[in-house]
Copies of this chain bind each other. A is one copy, B any other.
Amino acid sequence: MKKKTEAAHTRIILELIQYNEKEYFSHNDLPVDDLLNKQQADLVNWINLDGLEVNLINKIGGHFSLHSLLLEDITSEHPPKVEEYDDYLFFTLKMLYRIENDKIDYEQISFVLGHNYLLSFQEKEGDMFGSFRERIRLDQGRVRKKKADYLLYRLTDIIVDNYYAVLENIGQQIEQIEEQIYQSPTGQEFRNIQRLKKELIFLRKALYPLRDAMNKLVRDDSGFIDPSNARFFSDVYSHIVHLIDSLDTYKDLTSGLMDIYINTLNTRMNEVMKVLTVISTIFIPLTFIVGVYGMNFEFMPELHWRYSYPIVWGGMALIMAGMIFYFKRKKWF
């Protein structure tokens, strides 16, 4: 069984935004059938669904004659991809959902681009498009003068832009962990490095296929993307290449962190061993010497000499000094 995307506990929100250079309408509290009927051929119709409710998706799918495999793709988890159908273009990718306490959440977003409409399906309520919706409403920038393909570009650009925030967060974590290790490793760093590695594995899974998908969009000749807009998608593509580049760098840096961590542990362990060695090698022979004069033989002439005791102390002091000198020269401490 393919893994279904997680849909529980998400409020379902269905919204229609329609615009052209002159007009703008927005509906987000209509039943699905009424909302679908509002579609107008001379406007760009953007239908956005938060929460992958199967019945709603099937109704929308029926209205726009979406292929059954496509509907399945919207609700199941899989890598980013672009697929061309006769009457529309399907594009799905991962979108940053939020960063909380160095924990990064993603959701899957799917787009269906037709000639005068764009459908977007998100797993969870809420997205990064809020201020962009405002720009459409207030007719800022170029978007009201352009078609649905430009709308797709703008949304994609916003999504890709947010990956920079993810990478920046990871970059900061790497620096923090490195500093902690050099100062005083607590053992927690190891787990943090492992967590970072998993984040990077996930990002790689999101970005590599996204690059290929975006490349397919750039070279698209199916007519859904106007050639005059190709340069915009090409720009997003080069951002993704840059992101992948940085990702590879962070992967190398994280591997380096492991080296640093292990080296730090080893250095500390070696320090411990050296202390043990120095103390042992100094005192073990001395203990032997005092043991000798603790023997109870009847005939041990030294025991009865007047200056034996200070002489033994002197000898032991000499041995100790010699060893400390030897260790110093060997740079053991």
Contact = CB atoms under 8 A, between A and B. Distances in A.
Interface string A252-287: 110010111011011101111111110111011111
B306 A161 contact: no
Query: Which 4 pairs from chain A and chain B are nearest by CB?
Result: A290-B291, A293-B295, A294-B294, A276-B277
A172 to B, nearest CB: 13
Interface stretch (A18-26, A47-55, A214-222, A297-305): A297-305
6 contacts: A78-B239, A293-B295, A293-B296, A296-B300, A297-B308, A298-B304
A203 B157 CA distance: 28
A184 B331 contact: yes
A295 B310 CA distance: 12
Contacts of A260: 190, 194
Nearest to A187: B267
A69 B235 contact: yes
Interface of A: 1-3, 67, 69, 78-79, 81, 161, 164-165, 168, 184, 187, 190, 194, 197-198, 201, 205, 209, 231-232, 235, 238-239, 241-242, 245, 249, 252-253, 256, 258-260, 262-263, 265-267, 269-277, 279-281, 283-288, 290-300, 302-309, 312, 330-332
A218 B318 CA distance: 77
A201 B249 contact: yes
A290 B279 contact: no
A284 B280 contact: yes
Given A263-B190, A273-B272, A276-B281, A245 B1 contact: no
Given A1-B164, A79-B245, A288-B286, A269 B273 contact: yes
Contact of A283 (B194, B253, B284, B298): B284
A308 B307 CA distance: 20
B269 A201 contact: no
B297 A293 contact: yes
Contact of A256 (B184, B197, B291): B197
A96 to B, nearest CB: 12
Given A78-B242, A232-B69, A241-B79, A161 B1 contact: yes
B279 A275 contact: no
A294 B290 contact: yes
A201 B252 contact: yes
B253 A198 contact: yes
B269 A231 contact: no
Contacts of A67: 231
Nearest to A293: B295
Contacts of A272: 270, 273-274, 277, 332
A307 to B, nearest CB: 8
Contacts of A293: 295-297
Nearest to A250: B201
B287 A298 contact: no
B249 A205 contact: yes
Given A79-B241, A294-B296, 8 more contacts: A184-B331, A187-B267, A198-B256, A275-B277, A291-B291, A293-B295, A295-B296, A299-B308
